[in-house]
Amino acid sequence: TQIIISRFIFKIYFKKPLYKQHSPFSYNPLFHLHFQTCNFLLYTPHHHLPHFQTKKVVAIMAGGGIPTAPGGDKAYPGNLTLYVTFTCVVAAMGGLIFGYDIGISGGVTAMDPFLMKFFPSVYRKQSADTSTNQYCKFDSQTLTMFTSSLYLAALLSSLVASTVTRKLGRKLSMLFGGVLFCAGAMINGFAQAVWMLIVGRILLGFGIGFANQSVPLYLSEMAPYKYRGSLNIGFQLSITIGILVANVLNYFFNKLDGNLGWRLSLGGAVVPALIITVGSLILPETPNSMIERGQSDEAKTKLRRIRGVHDVDEEFNDLVHASEESRKIEHPWRNLLQKKYRPQLTMAILIPFFQQLTGINVIMFYAPVLFKTIGFGSDASLMSAVITGSVNVLATCVSIYGVDKWGRRFLFLEGGTQMLICQVAVAVFIAIKFGVNGDPGDLPKWYAIVVVLFICIYVAGFAWSWGPLGWLVPSEIFPLEIRSAAQSINVSVNMIFTFIIAQVFLMMLCHLKFGLFLFFAFWVVIMTIFVYFFLPETKNIPIEEMVIVWKNHWFWSRFMVDVEYPNGVELSKGGDVVKKLRLKRSTQKKAYPGNLTLYVTFTCVVAAMGGLIFGYDIGISGGVTAMDPFLKKFFPSVYRKQLVDTSTNQYCKFDSQTLTMFTSSLYLAALLSSLVASTVTRKLGRKLSMLFGGVLFCAGAMINGFAQAVWMLIVGRILLGFGIGFANQSVPLYLSEMAPYKYRGSLNIGFQLSITIGILVANVLNYLFNMLDGNLGWRLSLGGAVVPALIITVGSLILPETPNSMIERGQSDEAKTKLRRIRGVHDVDEEFNDLVHASEESRKIEHPWRNLLQKKYRPQLTMAILIPFFQQLTGINVIMFYAPVLFKTIGFGSDASLMSAVITGSVNVLATCVSIYGVDKWGRIFLFLEGGTQMLICQVVVAVFIAIKFGVNGDPGHLSKLYAIVVVLFICTYVAGFAWSWGPLGWLVPSEIFPLEIRSAAQSINVSVNMIFTFIIAQVFFMMLCHLKFGLFLFFAFWVVIMTIFVYFFLPETKNIPIEEMVIVWKNHWFWSRFMVDEEYPNEVELSEGGDVVKKV
């Protein structure tokens, strides 16, 4: 009787038979379900039955049984208006400070006057016989701290920026970032001692922490969901532009006599700092932030203007809902730990983590040093950094074009593949010429060209994948209630690992030799796998609907519990035993109306320029460390070491802790500032966070430009790090929130494109400034960071706030108006309502940081940590940081190595453009996997080439021209793989996956993780190069394998998912869905192992 009743009930309520016709007495794998279901239905009070009558059963199963409900997208009306385009462009310029710092740091450490003044031991080491080990010439803890201190500062500031972003809006966080970066730039520009360098770097880090916290959030919230990827990648584009500008400035300033070159390079950070500072003042607040801060009417008006249509009710209502949910959360940080936020939290951690482990920051930071290390002259190494910076910018443009066409996953995968290939190739080339002993001998021209070529391809792979997506994805995946906190985590993780990598790069280069590239190649494999499996596609998903991608993901869906209808049917892995019986609503993706208006395009482009400061710093840092005047002034031991006979070990010429600290101090500062930027971004809006990033970066640039001692360099770097922390916190969020969901990937990757442009500009400047006599070259390179700082500063002033931020801060009416203008359509009600709902949910969370730990946020938290973690472990930062040093190490002359860095920077830019084109077409996952594969192959090849030439002893002998060409070729291929995968997606994915209530906190985590691992890698790179030799590339290759696997299995596709509907991708994910717990209807029927006894209801 029960069998007959159960069949009847299932057929009536679910419109289909429970199973194929069987004999009543024959065995059926669902036999026991009949009894339990009948008992459940028959003994359920009648007033509960409408939930069964109106909702379909959704099965979560490994195979067979009950079909899952189909999904769809919300389509908010809206256009890619000129207004939103302008705001996103201005906001994205917040990436200029990060990019400029990345590019300028490595450039000045390749300038002899800079090394002579602050790191004389490094200068003496590299001035020694070139026959000695080339791997360890720059292995100096002081030199490493100069670079990596920024990332610790960015880590700390990103935590503060989370609160600022949430409470005061995205604009104020950008403003803080610009101001702090400006201060750091000025200190670095006038530095007279190492401590001034460190202080400047710390201020730079504070600025970066705020900028990286707020800019991605701003872009993600402002951009129409269809264009969110492209507009958000504007941040990465700004970073690449910043890197390129820094590399170019390093190149030219290196030609100046005395200390003027490195002072101009470091002090030049004032420019991008002023850009983000002024930009944060003119930008509008995002509707999300306005609603979040109680400005609902203004938010709706702003949303109308942003979308370019009057009907923004759907989007506005979603924003209001998100804001209401956000207000329920008193502790976003604590809520981040909730189960439903685990997918976003995972991405906020892993995306910046992986982004740093691509090795790109090492390449961009130390491009001149790398090229100098592999045999290029000081001037040539700076030019090589300019080349890599140019590649970085161009590749980021590719990412902008493709991110909303191809999707985030495609760019991640393609970029990962490309980086992998190039890292392997570069490792091979360096191994061939330098061997284990690091003695290259005579480096032929072909060798230099090949190495630069592969580094450029590597940079391109990063620039259209992990570069922009590393900021885009985290900025668009967080719900409003945890957006600032999650973004802070994203920035913090980014800064932590940037700091770590910057701190250990020279040491790793000294010890791992060419194996350093293999080290990053390994991580590229890991992160590509990670993207393939675990990163959902967020393309064309409205930012406040992003939960859909988690709900639909095979893994993350287990964490995403439907708030209204938690129940569903969950089968065992074989599909034959019922584990749980739950009913939940169909998780359909919304399609908000809206256009890619000129307004939203402009705003996203401006906002994405916030990446210029990061890119310029990455590019300039490695360039100046390849300038002999810089090394002579600040790192004389490194300078003396590189002057020794080139027949000695080339791996350890730059192994200096002081030199490493010069670079990596920025990332500690960015790490710290990103934590602060989380609060600033949430409380004060995305714009203010970008403004802070620009100002701080500007200050750091000026200090570095006038540095007279290592301490001034460090102080300037710290200020740069503070600026980067704010910019990297806010710009990706800004881009993800401003961009239409269908274009969020492309617009968000604008941030990565800015980073690549910053790297390229830094490489070009390094190359040109290296020709200057004395210290003028490195001073111009470092001081040039003022330009991208000014860009993001000014941009943050003129940009509108994102509707998400406006709603989050109670400006609902203004937010709706702004949303209409951004989307270019009047009907934005659906999107607005989602934003309001997200804001309401966000207000429920008082402690976003605490909430990040909630089970429902575990997917996002995982991504916020792992994406920046993996991004750094691609090895791209090593390539970009130390490209001139690497190229100098493998036999290029100083000038040639800087030119090689320019080449890789150019590849980075171009490949990022590929990512922009494809991220919303192919999806995030595709780019992650392709980029991971590409990076892996290149890392292995580079390791082999270096091993063949340098051997274990690091003695390359004579480096032929063909060898150089091959190594550069594979490095360029690697850079390209990163530039269209982990580069942009490392920022895009974390910025778009967080719900509003934890968005700032999660983005702060993302930035912090990014900065931490950037710092770590920068800190240990020279030491690792010295000890691991060519194995360093194999080290990163290993991580590329890990991250590629991770992406494949655990990253859901966020392409075309509205940012406030992003929870859907976690709920539908095979793994993350288990964490998405419904809060209103948590009850479920759980059967025993045998499926015949009810364990709990």
Considering the domain architecture, whether residues 731 and 637 belong to the same structural domain is answered as: yes
Q: Which two tokens stand for residue 1021?
A: 């790179």
Amino acid at 1095: K
What total of structural domains would you count in the chain? 2
Considering the domain architecture, whether residues 522 and 580 belong to the same structural domain is answered as: no
- Best CA proximity match to 381, nearest among 939, 661, 764: 764
- Determine the pLDDT at residue 358: 81
In this prediction, residue 366 has a pLDDT band, given cuts at 50, 70 and 90, of very low
Considering the domain architecture, whether residues 281 and 407 belong to the same structural domain is answered as: yes
Q: Are 278 and 790 in contact (CB under 8 A)?
A: yes
Does 108 reside within a domain? yes
**Sign of the C-alpha dihedral computed for residues 744, 408, 400 and 517 taken in this order:** positive
Provide, rounded to the nearest whole percent, the portion of the chain with pLDDT above 70.
75
Q: Are 792 and 52 in contact (CB under 8 A)?
A: no
Give the Cα separation of 579 and 573 in Å (integer): 9
Does 136 reside within a domain? no
Give the Cα separation of 590 and 593 in Å (integer): 9
Does 58 reside within a domain? yes
The pair phi, psi for residue 873, each rounded to 5°, is: -85, 5
Give the Cα separation of 44 and 660 in Å (integer): 67
Does 1081 reside within a domain? yes
Considering the domain architecture, whether residues 33 and 123 belong to the same structural domain is answered as: no
- Determine the pLDDT at residue 617: 80
Q: Are 478 and 486 in contact (CB under 8 A)?
A: yes
Query: To which residue do tokens 């990022």 refer?
Result: 912
Beta strands in 542-691 (DSSP E): 543-544, 546-547, 567-571, 578-583, 591-592, 652-657, 662-665, 683, 686
Considering the domain architecture, whether residues 53 and 178 belong to the same structural domain is answered as: no
- Determine the pLDDT at residue 655: 61
- Best CA proximity match to 592, nearest among 923, 227, 1052: 227
pTM of the model: 0.49
Q: Is the pLDDT score of 943 beyond 50?
A: yes
Mean pLDDT in the chain?
Answer: 73
For residue range 438-494, what is the model confidence (pLDDT) as tens digits? 666 666 667 767 777 787 888 888 878 887 777 777 777 777 777 777 777 777 777
Burial class (CB in 10 A: 0-12, 13-18, 19+), 845: buried
Burial class (CB in 10 A: 0-12, 13-18, 19+), 46: exposed
Give the Cα separation of 943 and 374 in Å (integer): 12
Does 779 reside within a domain? yes
Give the Cα separation of 515 and 509 in Å (integer): 8
- Best CA proximity match to 433, nearest among 888, 900, 890, 939: 890
Considering the domain architecture, whether residues 896 and 846 belong to the same structural domain is answered as: yes
In this prediction, residue 374 has a pLDDT band, given cuts at 50, 70 and 90, of low
Does 496 reside within a domain? yes
Specify which residues 592 forms β-bridges with: 75
Between residues 586 and 817, the one the model is more confident about: 817
- Best CA proximity match to 232, nearest among 1016, 755, 895, 853: 755
Give the Cα separation of 326 and 322 in Å (integer): 6
Considering the domain architecture, whether residues 969 and 1087 belong to the same structural domain is answered as: no
Give the Cα separation of 270 and 348 in Å (integer): 29
Q: Is the pLDDT score of 574 beyond 60?
A: no
For residue range 641-657, what is the model confidence (pLDDT) as tens digits? 767 655 455 556 666 66
Considering the domain architecture, whether residues 693 and 794 belong to the same structural domain is answered as: yes
Its domain, for residue 22, covers: 2-63+546-589+1065-1096
Query: To which residue do tokens 């460190």 refer?
Result: 198
Spell out the residues 6+ positions from residue 44 whose beta carbon is closer than 8 angstroms to its own.
Answer: none
**Long-range contact set of residues 66-70: C-beta below 8 Å, sequence gap at least 24:** 66/569, 66/571, 68/1068, 69/586, 69/587, 70/586, 70/588
Q: Is the pLDDT score of 6 beyond 50?
A: no
Spell out the residues 6+ positions from residue 54 whose beta carbon is closer than 8 angstroms to its own.
Answer: none
Q: Which two tokens stand for residue 277?
A: 């500072």
Considering the domain architecture, whether residues 270 and 222 belong to the same structural domain is answered as: yes
Considering the domain architecture, whether residues 200 and 271 belong to the same structural domain is answered as: yes
Considering the domain architecture, whether residues 725 and 576 belong to the same structural domain is answered as: no
Give the mean model confidence (pLDDT) for residues 823-851.
Answer: 78
Does 179 reside within a domain? yes
- Determine the pLDDT at residue 368: 54
Q: Are 768 and 251 in contact (CB under 8 A)?
A: yes
- Determine the pLDDT at residue 419: 85
The pair phi, psi for residue 66, each rounded to 5°, is: -105, 130
Between residues 430 and 238, the one the model is more confident about: 238
Highest mean pLDDT among 41-45, 51-55, 460-464, 753-757: 460-464
Highest mean pLDDT among 22-36, 501-515, 571-585, 638-652: 501-515
Considering the domain architecture, whether residues 968 and 1082 belong to the same structural domain is answered as: no
